[in-house]
Structures are given as C-alpha cells and as structure tokens.
Amino acid sequence: MNKIFYLVLIGIVFVNLSYAQEEHQSLEWINPSNDEVLFTIGDIVRFDWEEQIFELEREKAMQLMAKVSRRLQVPFSIKANNTIIYEGCFMSSLSSMSSHKPTITDGLLEKIIPPMYKISAGYPSDKFANNTKERFNPLMFDILKRQGKIVDINNKSYSPPIEKIFSGWHGEYGIFQIAIEIFPETFRIGKEAEIHLIIAKSDKFDLKADRIELNIVLTCNNGNFFVNTTHNVPLKFLDGDECYIFRSNLWGPTYSSIDSYAKPSSGNITAKVRAYKSQKENRFEPIGSWEIPSIKIDVLPKEITD
C-alpha cells in the first residue's frame, strides 16, 4: 500500500513539475503602452546569453523596424506567460534621452544592425543602468536554453543587415505627408514583397475620411510587365501613429501586360494614397490624393530550393 502511495505521489510531483516547465515555455516582448506583441521566442533564431546579442527571423525584424524605428523610444516588457521578466525600451541612436533599464538600440553606433540586436544594461552606456545584471534573468535563460536558442555568436557570424530604401517625404510639409520604405531582398519572385507606408500629419490636418487606399504599381521586364495592386488601409493609420505593413505577391499572372509574369530585371515602384468620403448608395467620393514618385528596384530571381 505504501509503495503504491509513494508511486502516486512521485507521479503527481512529476506532472506538476512538467506543467510548471510547460507554463513558462513562452517568451514575449510586449509594448506595454498598447499590449501589442512585438515578437516572441518563436521569432528568435539564436541568442548569445553572455553577450546579450540575439537574432530575429528577417521578416519579423522588418516588422519590428516598422513599429520601433521611427520613434526615439518605445517601451517593452518581456513576459513568460503572465510573469514579467523585466522591462526595458527600444532606443534610437538619435535620441538624447537616457535609460536606466535594459535597452535595445537601432545598432547604428554598435554596428549591430537588424536582424541582429543587442540588449544593453542602459543607455547611452551601461553606466546609466540601475541594475547591470537585470538582463541575466535565470527563468529567461532556462526558457531560451530548453528551446535550443542559446548559442555563442561572434561578429563574423552576424547575418547580413536588412537593407531598406526610403522614398523621402511627399505631400504638404507640416500638414500631411506620406513616405514608403521598401525592402529590396523581399522583391524576389515567388515571395511576398514588403513595403511600409508611413504617414506624418499635424493637428492642422483635419481631413475626415471614411476610406483610405494604398495603390502600388510595379513595372519591370523593360516595361512589358505591369501590375497594379490596391489595398485598403485601416483608418487608424491616418492618425500617423503607426506604420502600415503591406505585403503582396506582385509577380503575376496579370493579363493587362505583354508579359503575364514578372522576370528578374530592373523595375520601378510607384505608390499613391487616396482618401474617400462615403456617399449615398455605397459610393465613395475622392477627397484627397498623395503620390510617391518612381523608385528603382531590382526584381530578384526565384530562390532555388533542394
């Protein structure tokens, strides 16, 4: 009887321990100002614990750039389920502010560029930190290790930096302007191209729209391939507080061009934002239009996979 009791007790303890480990398998980097998940442990490729350098999947790093790169400072909380590991911030190297908490910069000064990131104890240097060891949380280490993320990373093994092309601002300065960021490596046949729409507006801009559209036009194959795509942009982006992420397969087929499919070649991208006001009978009247001139882009060949 006692033997059975001990076996049952051991089984209960084992189950509880397994459950406790499973409960803290996830890690999330969250913006506490809006509870948005910025990235998770699943987006991490590798993490050097001693150097506090880590790499994100390239697509996720591009999305993170859209959320933090335009601001001087963005807060984050690292959570394991509902347990806060620690709090810190993303910081632009252009910022004159300081941080006493763990900080992830844009890497321009350290030359650790996305998709590579470094968590410093503080900003502009570790001397500003309240606690230089806060980053080395044992629970966080345990979760990363159990999921096989802990590796040594030297600067010779850094992944290539993510390149982006900025269109420049277009529109009425100080009132309403638009810009786009293009990621050349995503302009590869068979993959979704990534474009970020950025809106900047002042309080003087009082346009009340019921519908916003982003129109993207790609021309390549010596002008023989032409694709025109239109995407509805949620109205919240008109406030200019967020960067709209546009992803689309631009490579065909299309039946308005001489060539039905895009080919590896030089091309051009143009973008236009249109605002509409709702009318009767489900009609929309255009009330504003802003255009970005042609940007040169190379259409890359389809990746060869084994």
Say what the pLDDT of residue 72 is. 83
Backbone angles phi, psi at 304, to 5 degrees: -95, 120
User: pLDDT of 21-39, one tens digit each?
Assistant: 445 578 999 999 889 999 9
What does the H/E/C string look like for 182-200? ECHHHCECCCCEEEEEEEE
Domain ranges in the chain are 23-157, 165-299
Say what the pLDDT of residue 242 is. 76
Token pair of 40 as six digits: 């998770």
CATH number of 165-299: 2.60.40.2550
Say what the pLDDT of residue 9 is. 42
Helix and strand counts by DSSP (H, E) for the chain: 3, 17
Bridge partners, residue 284, by sequence = 278
- Strand (E) positions, 183-283? 193-201, 211-220, 225-233, 243-248, 265-278
Burial (0-12, 13-18, 19+ Cβ within 10 Å), 267: buried
Angle at the Cα of 164 (from 151 to 33), degrees rounded to 5?
70
Burial (0-12, 13-18, 19+ Cβ within 10 Å), 122: buried
What is the mean pLDDT, run by run of 10 residues, along the chain of 306 residues?
A: 47 41 75 93 97 96 90 92 92 86 85 94 86 93 96 94 95 91 96 93 85 96 95 86 88 93 96 92 89 96 82
Say what the pLDDT of residue 140 is. 96
User: pLDDT of 105-162, one tens digit each?
Assistant: 887 777 899 999 999 999 888 888 888 899 999 999 999 999 999 999 998 999 999 9
Which bin fits 266, alpha (ψ -120 to 50), beta or left (φ > 0)? Answer: beta
Say what the pLDDT of residue 306 is. 62
Q: Is the dihedral of CA 183, 188, 191, 193 positive or negative?
A: positive
Token pair of 188 as six digits: 């590869």
